[in-house]
Amino acid sequence: MAEENVYKAEKRIDIKTAPKFSEDLKAFADKGIYDLVVDMAETVYISSVGLRALLTMQKEVNKHGGVMLIRNVSETVRSVFDVTGFSGLLTLED
């Protein structure tokens, strides 16, 4: 995927940072970009609002036949995806 299709997520995706995270993801769809990578190499925490933003974007990507990969997920964040069932809804790549 092209470098412009990679979004580098922040260290913490929580109630304070999730609105910007959601807006940043939505900006890809607004530009017609439905193939993207969310790089979570720096992310150590994600809350339910961050999960909701990812799910919303995943639905948009699916609607347009695109692919969204969640890359470089730490064990801590991966456990959140696993416990909430999101690891079955999103494409996680090591």
Q: Residue 72 pLDDT > 60, yes or no?
A: yes
Q: Residue 19 pLDDT > 90, yes or no?
A: yes
Three-state DSSP at 38 gives strand
pLDDT tens digits, 25-67: 999 999 999 999 999 999 999 999 999 999 999 999 999 999 9
Domains of the chain: 3-93 (3.30.750.24)
